[in-house]
Structure 1
Amino acid sequence: MMKTPITVLQELMVKFSESPEYECVAQSGPQHLAVFEYRCAARGHVVSATARSKKEAKQEAARLMLARLAAAGLNVPAPYTAPCAPCPPVAGDGDAVAAGGGARSYKALLKELCQEYKLPGPEYTLEGDTGPAHARRFTARGAVGAHQRVASATTKKAAQQLAAQQLYQYLRENLARLTEDFVEEEALARAHERAMERYVEARADAPHRPDLAQRVADYHLGLLLHLEEEKVNLGADALEAASPDAEPETALQAVAGALGLRAEWHSLPAEGGSLTLVRLAPSSPPLVFCARTREAAAAEALAYLRLTMKFRDQK
């Protein structure tokens, strides 16, 4: 079974009665695209590496340190003797980049370059993987038209990033006169903005999740606790503006819209006819009001909202 870089480095340093020092020195990007940077110090040498997880970044830092010590003449066991570049960090689906410039996605740069100069879009394929489960190495192929590059790394995404880096650098070097107006920082900013737009859209389409930490005693305060204060104020204003002669259903639609809620109507079979249910969503806990008619159900919902706003004013 192949030992991990951290284990190999630890065993090597024991011979000198020393221990390598690790430190997580940076975390960049939004939470869903976080990239971690780990620093490793040993025998007077310092290296750093970045990855999508702390564990991966620490292993990569240890691997770079072993290569550095091997170059300095220490007896480092194979396969950690050959120097190699750290795997570039990846973000999300590989198209985004963490804000701040610390983490660079070559997949994002390559995609922007291809789009700006009407090149075929980059394509990536997994060529294979080798090694035991704790030290897996993945090989990925990246292609832009007839140009292809193959790279290996400890994760699939990192391997794709390396292949993208090689393709990107090749195109920039060989098409330098044609791509001289391509600004990397602007391209990364565009990629980041698009990634954030997709993230916001995904969050907007995500189903509402109940607040499991909410106490039963606070259920009647659900609207006050979980709606933004600005929306609560708008809802209170809509309630005050509602005419006493207005149809309850019309007034409810106006107040729910001000609160950022929607009124969902349902019919429930019952003895002697049917019941009408109106649900205000999304809310935590769910707010459902029932009556024989839509008008009566809407009136019940409005009565609850008025009591809620009255309680707010008394706090």
Structure 2
Amino acid sequence: MSKLAKNPAMVLQELTVKKCLGPPNFEIVHSISGTHENRFDYRVRVAGVEAIGTGSSKQISKHDAAYKALKMLEEIGIYDPVELPMEEFKASAMQKQAGYRIGSPNKLSINCIGPLKDLCMENKIEDPVFTEISDVGPPHCREFTYECCIGSVKTIATANTKKMAKQLTAKEMLERLKYILPTIKLEAPRKTEEQKTLMPSEIDLAALQKYNEVFSDIVPDKKVKVDDFASVFNRLMLEYKKTREDFNEEFTEISPDSLERMLKKLGLQYVIFPLQEQEPIILALRINCDVPFATMAVGRTEELAKSEVINNTFKMLDCFIK
């Protein structure tokens, strides 16, 4: 390798200038810091490709993302390592030097996918979906990056095997759900600057406290399937002797106040709480019936997300009470 070889991020930057491409766009998508196992995930978009890097520091994560992007660009003929030589880079080796190893053997015995699926089943939310994001490196030392999605919530992990990458991203998802699912009692954690996007803010905790107050006496009916969700409103309509016409005014207005009035006629309440505070804003709305009922919405601002989640709730209720 030439002595003039540079690190992946520098090579990627020079490549975009030489080829008259737009500059690489790095953005942090996930971070954990202030613990004995810091973790940063950076995404880079350049020349129509996208790559995600993981590291125990921001620098390693960015270099890892740049390295993977360069490998992709090499495959499609945009990057020539002879013209722009790159330093030998291997994220796992740098992790080891820093005292951190992705997919270390001491984690191989941990099964997080099973508990994650159990948690989803208990809370009647959709099962996690695992997707392979990248597969790079020589045959004897591959690095796999997997993404875990539950609705709009996503986590990413990289490891030396597919199995471990899935387990690690499932582990991250379990940790995220601790702050998303209000059914789990929370204590306000100490937050570092890097953790502010991951930990619930004071507004989040207030929403969760309100949720626990509203739902504290509700016992979810775990025998009910998704197809049977509408049955709870049928029972309440009969119990409170209501018809669709009794809610015409509320359906005409469609606002937080009208939703509160409509639910009050059925002896119900609702609460809205944030799933993600950074753009795009993600809000969830849940109604305290014995069968879990929830809707979610995304918006550029909290106001737009709140309006959307209210509209989504009215659409679902309109179908159910008919």
TM-score greater than 0.5 by the shorter chain:
no
What's the TM-score once normalised by structure 1's chain length?
Answer: 0.30
Larger Rg: 1
